[in-house]
Amino acid sequence: MMTLVPIFNFENRNHWYVEARYNYEDLNTVSIYLGRTFSNAGKDKLTYSIIPVLGGVMGRFKGGSAGVNAVIEYEKLFFSTQSQYTFSCNEKSADFFFAWSELAYQPLKWFYFGLSAQQTYLPEAKSSVCEPGAVLGFTVRKWTFPLYCFSPTRNSKYFVLGINFTAGTFKRNR
């Protein structure tokens, strides 16, 4: 199965941040997040960016979400993570905690590769699932096209193709 997950990021000069996603929290679902960036980008070899966010989720899944996006970079190596707690307006048992992380190396300006993992925790069911994966990413100007393969050693492996556009001053999503 292949799922298209477009993500749009924008950060203004005052470091206010907005992110729109489709098919991220659930299929046929749109989410919009607002936050503010705290960063030392451009000041040291080791850079970081932390963005606390609040958002709304509409479509097949309806609710709200709070989370944090974080990136740490050192030369051509980077670690990024997105963590969020999302609650359903319709069904408490649908609430979940989700984290998506990547550790990757970018040998070329237009290409990166690495490891990824996503973890979902359902508090109502006291159930947790962690799926390891791999990522290959291609960057063209402000566009990034990551291709993920989760559970690559199992018969139940699946792929996620991202199409990310970054506008404004924000420098994430490679």
160, exposed or middle or buried, with CB in 10 Å at 0-12, 13-18, 19+?
A: buried
Nearest Cα residue to 51 out of 41, 59, 61: 41
Query: Which class is domain 2-168?
Result: mainly beta
Residue 93, SS3 per DSSP: helix
pLDDT tens digit at each of 174 positions of the chain: 667 888 888 999 999 999 999 999 999 999 999 999 999 977 788 999 999 999 999 999 999 999 999 999 999 999 999 999 999 999 988 999 999 999 999 999 999 999 999 999 988 888 899 999 999 999 999 899 999 999 988 898 988 888 888 876 645 444
Question: Which amino acid is present at 78?
Answer: F
CB 144 within 8 A of CB 166: yes
Q: Considering Cα of 60, then 24, then 56, then 13, what sign does the dihedral take?
A: negative
The span from the CA of 69 to the CA of 122, in Å, is 20
- Indicate the pTM of the whole model: 0.86
